[in-house]
Amino acid sequence: MKKLINDPNDVVAEALLGIEAAHPDLQVDHANKVIYRGGSPKPGKVGIISGGGSGHEPLHGGFVGHGMLDAACAGEVFTSPVPDQMLAATKLVDGGAGVLHVVKNYTGDVMNFEMAAELAAAETGARVVSVVTDDDVAVQDSTWTAGRRGVGATVLLEKIAGAAAEQGRDLDAVADVARKVNAHGRSMGVALTSCTVPAAGSPTFDLGDDEMELGVGIHGEPGRRRVPLAPAKEIAELLVEPIVSDLPFNDGDAVIAFVNGLGGTPLIELYVMYNEVNKILAKHGVSVARSLVGSYITSLEMAGSSVTLVKVDDELLSLWDAPVSTPALRWGI
């Protein structure tokens, strides 16, 4: 294992110290591992919190700031945060208008956020609404699995719901916008390499030099199929076609197209992928209203990419375009 760390056990705590030092607009509750906006809570504004295992940076802490999240809870690497953390974050950002919990659909995350919402209701009477993201088409959505995973659409949802909250919409309206993004969003990813959890010290799975893992999750959990490595144009098809046919995205639809890096893939390759994705969408008559290219929801140092499409209307587009000022996304300000 070669990593820029001091001690595997201190990675999350030391990264939070770094975030606090680098971004004076943000504050960190180190005991609870919560990153939150300075000046919280904002009276009358719906608070939005998210959280999850660490190792997906900039998700979620890098999205705390004006126009996006109010707080993010950092779990251990690839492990859901515990209810105490979400409870602390909820209290920090509740300005009286209630708090939205954005939860990625993983068994642990859902259970810990559920317990936190129960505790928040019991302890403070804070009104909490949870929206669970489950946009990964690689997982069959059936009662026989834990359901689809929350992946790339979570990034776009946090931006769009954050804008709605910043406009002063009430909790139900913000939650409705969040659900709309998830309902219209689909993603799929591919891994070219595995990744190493610092505390584990060795790669989560083995992948040959000539292989790739199709439908991989963001925790290094293997995907559904292992296939031979292929050129970017073929990989793009393997990702985009299942996404397009799943919603489905139809001729004439407008989308935000998000090509994401999983942590170990350089931006130049992501642009090669974006070019291929763009061509495939054009073939389907899907128009790209906005794009996002970069590593925003990662799996440590895993090489690979995910593609997310969210079908948008004027409302979602105007919320996407609204000003945002966070460590990882910043425009209009």
Partner 1 sequence: MTDDVTTTAFDTWVRRFADLVADERDHLTELDAAIGDADHGTNMDRGMRAAVAALNELGSVGAGPMLTKVGMTLVSTIGGASGPLYGTLFLRMGNALGDAPEVTPVRVAAAFHAGLDGVVARGQAQAEDKTMYDALAPAVEALESCLANGLGLGEALARAREAADEGRDKTVPMLARKGRASYLGERSVGHQDPGATSVALLVAAAADTLA
- Among 36, 63, 106, 258, contact with partner 1 (rule: CB under 8 A): 106
Residue 1 as a binder of partner 1 (CB under 8 A): the answer is no
219 a catalytic residue: yes
- Taking the complex as a whole, the smallest distance from the CB of residue 68 to partner 1 amounts, in Å, to 24
**Shortest CB 51 distance to partner 1, Å:** 10
Annotated catalytic residue: which of 23, 184, 219, 284?
A: 219
Nearest in space to 161 (alpha carbons), one of 179, 142, 149: 179
CB of 128 closer than 8 Å to CB of 103 = no
CB of 220 to partner 1, least distance (A): 6
Could you give the count of Cα atoms lying within 13 Å of 302 in the half-sphere of its Cβ?
Answer: 36
CA distance 277 to 255: 12
Applying the rule CB under 8 A, the residues between 119 and 178 that interact with partner 1 are 138-140, 144-146, 149
Measured distance CA(291)–CA(36) in Å, rounded? 27
**What is the crossing angle of helices 171-183 and 153-166, to 10°?**
150
Catalytic annotation on 30?
no
Q: Site residues for partner 1, window 234-293 (CB under 8 A)? A: none
Number of residues that bind partner 1 (CB under 8 A): 37
Residue 176, C-beta contacts closer than 8 angstroms, at least 6 positions apart: none
Which CB, 3 or 224, lies closer to partner 1? 224
Q: Which two tokens stand for residue 49?
A: 């919190």
Copy the structure tokens of residue 163: 């804008």
**Residue 220 binding partner 1, by CB under 8 A:** yes
**Does position 77 bind partner 1 by CB under 8 A?**
yes
DSSP 8: G
Residues serving a catalytic function are 56, 219
- Interface contacts to partner 1, rule CB under 8 A: 53, 75-84, 106-108, 111-112, 114-115, 138-140, 144-146, 149, 197, 199-200, 204-205, 217, 219-224
